[in-house]
Amino acid sequence: MMPLRMTFSFPTTTLFGAGTLVELPKRLQSLGVSRPLVVTDPGLLPTTAFQKLKMVLDTMPGGWALFAGVHPNPGEMDVIEGAAKYRIENCDGVVAFGGGSALDVGKAVRLLVNRPGLILSEFDWRETWTGLAPCVCIPTTAGTGSEVGRSSVIIIEKSRRKAVLFNPALMASLVVLDPELTVDLPPKLTAATGADALTHCIESFTSPSFHPLCDGIALEGIHLGVRALPLAVSNGQDLEARGHMLVVAAMGAVAFQKDLGATHSLAHPLSTVCGMHHGLANALCLPVVMRFNASRKPGLYRRVGLACGLDIVTVSETQADNATIEFIAELFRKIGIVPGLRPHGVSEAHVTEMTPQAFADGCHATNPVPVTEEDLRALYLQAL
Ligand SMILES: NC(=O)c1ccc[n+]([C@@H]2O[C@H](COP(=O)([O-])OP(=O)(O)OC[C@H]3O[C@@H](n4cnc5c(N)ncnc54)[C@H](O)[C@@H]3O)[C@@H](O)[C@H]2O)c1
Ligand SMILES: [Zn+2]
């Protein structure tokens, strides 16, 4: 039955196109930012993307400051140290520059600037936040879509779990999607981050709540992504494919304001327990979860397959699901992702440690079919 009330919200202003980075100083000025703190990770510093950012920001009369201490799968300390740098350097806004890790920290730094001493593990998503500093998000990977999201994924030190800090106030003031900034991203990371974006589109489209706006965006994201991702992996300089993947990533994150599913619940402990890249973790689990879901909800993936361009209108529900799942699994193989958790260092002992964490993760609550803790364990074992 259709719910009576829903909130549909797609508000982030987004500049798209090769070379749009040059607009940054002017845009910062109009946001009232004269001295931004750039939040990034050390891996970005030697890239041409960072050189381009530096050249553009060096024109700012008030200067700029740098916090390059973000870790992959960032934790509370990254946010605390970023906020300390912001205060010491007398900044008045944030430029979050990098992959999801840097964007998540950049967005969250403003919470601690606004309220020093805030314990992130006690963050309350219902609270109303006002007066957060402006933040421009500039992704250099095309995966998480954190730039258009309302959350930051941060590991809480005490529990060693990934917490999704959600609050509309965390949204960026402006997003710059410039494909020239992603051309240096190596094929492996292009593949893994792109798999994350596709997983967002597929999980959100098939999650059961009523959100036709997100559903439409997710399907178009799948349509663009399955074509652009292999091109971006095989030729990193392909600006059109890179641009499409940036848009797919943003579309995936807009779509998953609807919901995610069990793949993300399995993926989060793979990062916290095994240190695996988030996108790779999703890629290794998605086909297994799709098979599980399709076995309980036949026909679930037909429209996903149609968006992939498969000729499956007239085949049976089971055939449509199988063709779609095989297409996605083959796509991941084609972009160089070696299937199976074991080749990536995961063992049965890890599965035992990860299973309760995956069950405690909220994403599977909106999986197309319910999952038990035992199901999640079985899915990990199948994915091994
Ligand atoms: N907030 C959200 O909505 C959301 C959604 C999904 C995932 N996440 C989180 O995002 C994080 C993953 O982000 P990610 O997949 O973008 O990876 P990442 O940010 O951890 O970056 C991975 C690596 O890529 C390098 N890199 C980034 N851009 C580069 C470039 N242009 N050239 C060369 N190297 C480059 C970085 O230095 C880093 O070493 C995880 O912590 C995950 O939980 C957040
Ligand atoms: Zn994800």
Q: Is the CB of 293 under 6 A from ligand 1?
A: no
Phi then psi for residue 66, to 5 deg, are -130, 130
Q: Is the CB of 204 under 6 A from ligand 1?
A: no
What's the gap in Å between 201 CA and the centre of ligand 2?
10
The predicted pLDDT at position 140 comes to 98
The predicted pLDDT at position 2 comes to 52
Q: Is the CB of 182 under 6 A from ligand 1?
A: yes
The predicted pLDDT at position 6 comes to 60
Asked whether this chain's domains 14-181 and 187-383 adopt the same fold, the reply is: no
Tell me how far CA of residue 171 lies from CA of 107, 121, 156, 269, in angstroms.
Answer: 7, 19, 21, 25
Taking a C-beta distance cutoff of 8 angstroms, is the pair 206, 367 a contact? no
Question: Hey, what CATH topology would domain 14-181 get?
Answer: Rossmann fold (3.40.50)
The CA distance from 309 to 230, in Å, is 15
The predicted pLDDT at position 9 comes to 61
The predicted pLDDT at position 129 comes to 87
Mean model confidence pLDDT for the chain: 95
The predicted pLDDT at position 5 comes to 66
Q: Is the CB of 199 under 6 A from ligand 1?
A: no
Contacting residues for 59 by C-beta, under 8 A, at least 6 apart: 25
Distance from chain centroid for Cα 183: 18
What's the gap in Å between 270 CA and the centre of ligand 2?
12
Q: Hey, whose CA ends up nearest to atom 34 of ligand 1?
A: 185
Q: What are the structural domain ranges in the chain?
A: 14-181, 187-383
Indicate whether 297 pLDDT > 70. Answer: yes
Query: Mean pLDDT throughout 196-225?
Result: 97
Structure tokens at 129: 């936040």
**Stronger pLDDT, 163 or 44, i.e. the higher one:** 44
| Residues flanking ion ligand 2, Cβ below 5 Å | 196
Indicate whether 122 pLDDT > 90. Answer: no
State pLDDT tens for residues 3-57: 556 666 677 899 999 999 999 999 999 999 999 999 999 999 999 999 999 999 9
Q: Mutation test of ligand 1: which of 278, 280, 361, 363 has the most ligand atoms closer than 8 Å to its C-beta? A: 278
The CA distance from 125 to 170, in Å, is 10
Q: Is the CB of 47 under 6 A from ligand 1?
A: yes
State pLDDT tens for residues 134-155: 999 999 999 999 999 999 999 9
The predicted pLDDT at position 49 comes to 97
Q: Is the CB of 201 under 6 A from ligand 1?
A: no
**Stronger pLDDT, 160 or 359, i.e. the higher one:** 359
Residue 8: count other Cβ atoms within 10 Å of its Cβ. 10
| Domain spanning 187-383, CATH architecture | Up-down Bundle (1.20)
Q: Is the CB of 49 under 6 A from ligand 1?
A: yes
Taking a C-beta distance cutoff of 8 angstroms, is the pair 64, 57 a contact? yes
